[in-house]
Amino acid sequence: MRIGSAKQSYAADAALFDSRPQQAWALLGLLALAAFPFFAGEYWLYLACLVSINVASAMGLNILTGYTGLVSLGQAAFMGLGAYTAAILQLRYGTPLLLNLFCGGLVATAAGVLVGLPSLRVKGLYLAIATIAAGVLAHFLFSHLPALTGGPSGLSVPPARLFGIELDTSARLYWVIVPITLLLLLGAANLFRTRIGRAFIAIRDRDISAEVLGIPLLRYKLLSFAISSFYAGIAGGLFAYFFRAVTPESFPLLMSIFFLAAVIVGGMGTVLGSVLGAVFMTLVPELLKLVVSALPLGGNATLVLSPVRTIVFGALIIVFLIFEPLGLAEMWRRTRRAFHLWPFRT
């Protein structure tokens, strides 16, 4: 049982890591992340990068959907915008990596604000459907502006360079992708200790009450869209450098559903949830791959894999919504509490 974590100052209470063990764990986690590339093989590094990109995007969606309560099915479209922007800048002008990522984020932000504009008039489900429209429009743009986007065949991106090092393997990209994701996560965690983040939460809980309390709805909703799609844009840029190819088909509606699923499964309205959800949802297909290849299916294994994955995605959304609406983060919290209270039970 953990005792004696009484806070003596307001600052201590509002701290990001509010207890010694937590700080220790965070430090340990950072060290583990830093040590990971030296021990892991190529496959695991590939997965780590992929997970990391998905975490960044899921975090963005969680800011919008989990914290502000605006359901979006357009996350993939924003990622696509970020990816295309980064790819085009890299191909045409060879501008530096970080600038490209940032520009990708900005373009996605602009699109996000545009898509968010109807959010003052329409809410909830109407908004979700409007964001599907954003996805359709983005896909159309990607495939019908061949001069800029290479049309249906897309663009292939040369490897990024940073400080003269060519980032052509997962092991090297790891050092770009993971720190950026960590920064984004830190930003999100801090966002909800500020006035803006609190305003988002107030809007989620009851938007009319929030407005009565003096929160300008349109401005904050747009801000939420902007931040969320900025995250998506950065993640998209990383996606472009990671897969080294962007096509209109890289960002289907299913991908938006994937991120929504990650946020739901992980836990809406928690930073930890975005991480857990994205990690879980990215690793489940890999696990399925193992399971399916272990089944006696012969040559059908690859044929079966993709539908099974689709089914499992859907089933996870349904199961979590029905049985654990607060997601993995809540399970994690319960486990932690059980340890803290150990000899006793809640």
Q: Return residues touching other proteins (CB under 8 A).
A: 69, 71, 73, 118, 121-122, 124-126, 128-130, 132-133, 136-137, 140, 143-144, 206, 208-209, 212, 254, 257, 260-261, 264, 303-304, 306-318, 321-322, 325
170 or 247: whose CB is closer to other proteins? Answer: 247
67 or 174: whose CB is closer to other proteins? Answer: 67
40 or 117: whose CB is closer to other proteins? Answer: 117
Helices and strands (H and E) in the chain: how many? 15, 4
Sequence-distant (≥ 6) Cβ neighbours of residue 8 within 8 angstroms: none
How far, in Å, are 156, 225, 291 from residue 246 at the CA level? 6, 24, 30
Residues 178, 52: Cα–Cα separation, whole Å: 6
Q: Which candidate, 240, 265, 263, 267, places its Cα nearest to that of 251?
A: 240
Q: Minimum distance between the CB of residue 139 and other proteins, rounded to whole angstroms?
A: 9
First to last CA, the chain: 12
Q: Minimum distance between the CB of residue 70 and other proteins, rounded to whole angstroms?
A: 10
Give the position of tokens 């006035």: 195
Q: Minimum distance between the CB of residue 286 and other proteins, rounded to whole angstroms?
A: 17
Residues 208, 248: Cα–Cα separation, whole Å: 39
The encoded tokens of residue 144 equal 């019908």
132 or 272: whose CB is closer to other proteins? Answer: 132
Q: Minimum distance between the CB of residue 223 and other proteins, rounded to whole angstroms?
A: 20
Q: Minimum distance between the CB of residue 289 and other proteins, rounded to whole angstroms?
A: 15
Give the position of tokens 């931040």: 227
Residues 214, 279: Cα–Cα separation, whole Å: 37
134 or 238: whose CB is closer to other proteins? Answer: 134
Secondary structure element (H or E) that encloses residue 166, with its range? strand 165-167
Residues 277, 317: Cα–Cα separation, whole Å: 11
Q: Minimum distance between the CB of residue 233 and other proteins, rounded to whole angstroms?
A: 21
137 or 196: whose CB is closer to other proteins? Answer: 137
Query: Exposed, middle or buried by CB within 10 Å (0-12, 13-18, 19+), for 225?
Result: buried
Q: Minimum distance between the CB of residue 100 and other proteins, rounded to whole angstroms?
A: 28
5 or 310: whose CB is closer to other proteins? Answer: 310
Q: Minimum distance between the CB of residue 74 and other proteins, rounded to whole angstroms?
A: 12
6 or 212: whose CB is closer to other proteins? Answer: 212
Residues 105, 113: Cα–Cα separation, whole Å: 12
Residue 245's DSSP bridge partners are: 156
Looking at residue 15, the DSSP 8-state letter turns out to be: -
43 or 140: whose CB is closer to other proteins? Answer: 140
Say if residues 182 and 29 touch (Cβ distance below 8 Å).
Answer: no
Q: Minimum distance between the CB of residue 257 and other proteins, rounded to whole angstroms?
A: 6
